[in-house]
Amino acid sequence: MKLRNEDIRKITEIKQYLLDPPVSFKLYDYALDYLQNAIQILAAYPDANDTNTYLKNLLEQLNNKAIEQTELRNTLKQAGIEISRLTNK
């Protein structure tokens, strides 16, 4: 998949954050912003539909506080891996 340079920069920043999220009690809030940005960027690319759907579902789970704090870091790392798969195509 071919991304525009500006989008590559932004999505790489988001991916790095998700792959190594900080240990923080505000992790939910931080993650929401990054996921929303990733969803906006990837919405412009039809090839990213599956990843975008995954991120939207994750965002919904975060909004509903459906993910335990103890599992949140691992869940965010998995989202980073999903974005990595997409950007490595």
Taking a C-beta distance cutoff of 8 angstroms, is the pair 29, 65 a contact?
no
What local confidence, expressed as pLDDT, does residue 44 receive?
A: 94
What local confidence, expressed as pLDDT, does residue 27 receive?
A: 85
The CA distance from 14 to 28, in Å, is 15
pLDDT tens per residue, the chain (89 residues)? 788 899 999 999 999 999 998 887 788 888 999 999 999 999 999 999 999 999 999 999 999 989 988 899 999 999 999 999 988 86
What local confidence, expressed as pLDDT, does residue 29 receive?
A: 85
Taking a C-beta distance cutoff of 8 angstroms, is the pair 86, 1 a contact?
yes
pTM exceeds cut of 0.85: yes
Domain boundaries, the chain: 5-87
